[in-house]
Structure 1
Amino acid sequence: MNKCKIGLLIGAILIGILSVNACAQGGGGYTISGRIKGIGNTKVFLTNKPYTFTSAFKVIIYDSCFSKDDYFVFSGKLDDLKFLSIEVPSVSKSRFSFIGENKDIKIESQKDAIHAGKIVGSPQTTYYNYYLDSIYRPTKRNDNRIIDSLAALKDSAKSMELVNAYERMINRRNEAILYQLISEHPDSYGLLSEFNEISTFIPKDTAQKYYSVFSKKLRQTELGKRLNYELFAYDNLIKIGKKIPDFSLPDTVQRLQGLSAFKGKYVLLDFWASWCGPCLEELPHLKNIYNQYQTKGFEIVGISLDTQKKSWIESIKRNDILWTNLSDLKGRAGKVAQLLKIDAIPMKFLVGPDSKLLLINPTLADIEGFLSTLP
């Protein structure tokens, strides 16, 4: 089954050599100032956009100011390390992303290439940029050249075999190197972010080992706490035969609806989004299942990972989706998406009349097979 990934996989590649200062956010705040040559006097935004993100990412504008003769300044206090971005939408679609710290940070750039600016005062960003520019990207380019050359072989069967073997080798290499990188730089928020993107693709015990190497202060960040839940608590909380924790989310007219409202019925929690092709492709089949078994106490509750209400509502109407639909419009950061560790969609959970989990990530055939046994 095709799925829409809602995180971008960026793996560790080689061994870094720079150090990163401890990630503690001290008593002082931050000052982010600088010059973007050519923007003149216009509005500048401070947002939460990381280096890369998907449609399931909820964009937040933290602050804004007016530049004067190309210069801008922001000040405040962060309660956590996090990715930030400087944007000037009136003059460019480009942005400058970095890791926010409670430090005196200075940025220099120009309006035609805001993303290519320079930054000083953020040790976290300095190491992460080094990692991307000198470690990840060069090795990724080399890997892509090798894969392309293997894929171009005339013998298609042999070509596929060699490509798959090389990709497996890359994964083994990156796993080993990632552990060494984390061991050398346990305070790197950038590496924690990279680890977050691959943690579901490596064995659970390996991921737990890697996570435990990060510094205590980094593990106490918002991202660190979420990873702790996913790696150590999730499997004990969300499993077949156990009651799923109740939750409530807004529906399309902002009424809160909870899972408990469907007690006594078989409920399929269907995670989807308006931008998810595989989700939309399976709708006709899902509608057939709904129509066939609704009279037997079967309900579907759609939970969207959209972040734009208009897109969500329009997709429901355009695709004639009749079952209950909920969303907090926070994408992957939504409370239920995090509770159930949604890292790709479509994703489904079948819940019984007693609120106990019956199926996790079933195919539509699995769902039909189960429902066909109902009296």
Structure 2
Amino acid sequence: MKNLSILFILALLVSSCKTESNKPTRDGYLITGNAPGVYNGIRAYLKVADARGRQIPMDTAIVMNEKFVFEGKLEDPNMHFITVDNVIGTKQLILDNGDDVIIDVNKTNIANSELKGSGSTVLFNQFNLDYQDAKKDLVNLNNRIRLAKQKKDDSKVKELTAEMTKKDLDLKEMGYKFIDEHPNSIVSLILLDRQTASRDLNPDRFMQSYNNLDDELKNSFKGKALNQKVTAIVETLKRNEALNIGKPAPTFTAPDTNGNQLALNDAKGKVTIIDFWASWCGPCRRENPNVVKVYNKYHDKGLEIIGVSLDRPGQKERWLKAIQDDKLTWKHVSNLQYFNDPVAKLYNISSIPATYILDENGTIVAKNLRGPALETKIAELLN
């Protein structure tokens, strides 16, 4: 009986040692790839995006016996990408120290591979699956709307369109909802960063989610970088909002062709065109004859134009020659600072030609009209 007790205690000790040895002892990450059907010697890559969004390999592994392994330590959690030679696609995953990730490689397209593991990777993978399902629902609804239109079933079209509008709003809200529910997850930070690429970014909703993030997350390296990006984007969005039709045009003062300061308010008429152009801009020069025609036709009725040139530093003579050659007899200003011109930055000019049309009160009534559309609008305002 005594011997049995000793054996029992020894068994417990052995069991205890085994349990302890199975606990993670890494302070880095481990990615195990299962790659059925992928030949020995094929390379797999773990990549990270650089500042320009390019995927740069940070580690390489060799497939042996249909498996490969990445192991290392990160300074900060971040989005990573796995690719395998001769396998189409890229698999995204969020990687953090302590993560133990398994990827079952889909040889047809690695983007369809299954990810298993802990923490951030699982959360991110599940969000992507839910997001893709929501996008498929929208595609299916769009197909059903097209079919209903072919059958001229107006009531069905109306019903499906309303459903599609709601689902589209739900899709846009999906990322924000996840972020609000996981304020301390690196996944939230990455999804918020992804939102910055949206063309219809809602700055108020964006800032609401950003401000709800955990302070530790916002103070991380990636959090601080996102804060800088967020600040720049919100400032641009606010400037764009201030330039919407119906808003008062931002006022400015800039050097004219003689170096004297000319203010927008001193150049306005019943209708005013602010024309952003440059001597080096081919499309601008080709549009100038049309602007000249409109000016000559409507100047006596109250049309004024102020040309804002984005010519480069040291090229004043080219600017003046272009004015003379193209017979641009209206008022002109330029700081000769290319796209860094303060007036161009005030009006968020990223390409030229660009125009703003103001009424007699200085309110923006139209933007970026050229050719016949420009004359039609001026005629509407002055006839």
TM-score normalised by L of structure 2: 0.51
* Secondary structure of the structure 1 residue equivalent to 2:105: strand
Q: Closer, same or farther in 2 for the Cα pair 1:82/1:357, shift >3 Å?
A: same
Whole-angstrom CA distance in 1 between matches of 2:237 and 2:208 = 21
Q: What CA RMSD, in Å, does the superposition of the two structures yield over aligned residues?
A: 4.4
SS of corresponding position for 1:357:
helix
How much has 1:123 moved relative to structure 2? 1.7
CA-to-aligned-CA distance 1:351-374 (integer Å, 9 cap, x gap): 32x68724204664425989xxxx
Q: Contact between 1:44 and 1:65, CA under 8 Å: does it hold in 2?
A: yes
The residue identity in structure 1 corresponding to 2:191 is E
1:168 to 1:221, Cα distance in 2 relative to 1, 3 A:
farther
Distance 2:201 2:116 in 1: 35
Are 1:99 and 2:99 counterparts? no
**Partner SS, residue 143 of structure 1:** helix
Where does residue 56 of structure 2 map in the other structure? 60
Find the aligned partners of 2:351 and 2:236 in 1 and give their Cα distance. Answer: 22
- Deviation of 1:62 after TM superposition, in Å, equals 0.9
Distance in 1, Cα, partners of 2:33 & 2:162: 47
- Cα offsets for 1:288-340 (capped at 9, x unmatched): 326899xx964379xxxxxxxxxxxxxxxxxxxxxxxxxxxxxxxxxxxxxxx
CA contact under 8 A between 1:105 and 1:119: conserved in structure 2?
Answer: yes
Task: Percent identity, please.
Answer: 19
Extract unaligned runs of 5+ from structure 1: 1-25, 51-55, 241-263, 265-284, 302-348, 371-375
Aligned pairs for 1:1-375 within 5 A: 28-37=27-36, 38-48=38-48, 57-89=53-85, 91-103=86-98, 104-109=100-105, 111-133=107-129, 135-152=130-147, 153-154=149-150, 166=163, 168-174=165-171, 178-199=175-196, 200=198, 201-232=200-231, 234-235=233-234, 286-289=281-284, 298-299=310-311, 350-352=339-341, 357-361=345-349, 364-366=352-354
Residues 183, 213 of structure 2: 8 Å contact kept: yes
Is 1:83–1:99's contact at 8 Å kept on the other side of the alignment?
yes
Between the aligned partners of 1:39 and 1:101, the Cα distance in structure 2 is 29
Runs of 4+ aligned residues of structure 1 deviating over 6 Å after TM superposition are: 156-164, 237-240, 290-293
Distance (whole Å) between structure 2 residues aligned to residue 194 and residue 362 of structure 1: 27
Structure 2: 5+ residue stretches without partners:
1-24, 240-258, 260-279, 289-307, 314-337, 358-366, 368-383
- Tell me if the contact between 1:48 and 1:61 (Cα under 8 Å) persists in the aligned partners: yes
Partner of 1:64: helix, strand, or coil? strand
Q: Deviations over 1:201-227 (max 9, x none)?
A: 243222111112222333344553343
Deviation of 1:233 (Å) = 5.2
- Which residue pairs with 2:376 in the alignment? none
TM-score normalised over the length of structure 1? 0.52
Contact 2:184 2:213 in 1 (8 A): yes
Q: Secondary structure at the match of 2:354?
A: helix
Q: Secondary structure at the match of 2:120?
A: helix
1:224 maps to amino acid: G
- Matched letter for residue 32 of structure 2: S
1:117 to partner: Cα distance: 3.4
Q: Mean alpha-carbon deviation: is it higher for 111-120 or for 92-101? A: 111-120
Do the aligned partners of 1:87 and 1:96 also contact (CA within 8 Å) in 2?
yes
Following the alignment from structure 1 to structure 2, what is the Cα–Cα distance between the partners of residues 292 and 138?
A: 47
Aligned to 2:18: none
Structure number with higher helix proportion: 2
Deviation at 1:83, TM superposition (A): 2.0
Contact 2:179 2:192 in 1 (8 A): no
8 Å contact kept, 2:176–2:209: yes
Counterpart secondary structure, 1:72:
strand
- Contact kept, 8 Å, 2:79 with 2:190, in 1: the verdict is no
* Bigger relative contact order (CA 8 A; separation at least 6): 1
Structure 2: how far apart are the matches of 1:33 and 1:179?
31
For residues 238 and 147 of structure 1, what CA distance do their matches in structure 2 show? 30
Show CA shifts across 1:127-167 (max 9, x none): 2222222x222232222222222234146999998787555
Alpha-carbon contact 1:85-1:98 (below 8 Å) kept = yes
Amino acid paired to 2:54:
K
CA shift in 2, pair 1:355/1:137, >3 Å? closer
Distance in 2 (alpha carbons) for counterparts of 1:300 and 1:41: 54
Partner secondary structure for residue 71 of structure 2: strand
Q: Count the aligned residue pairs.
A: 248
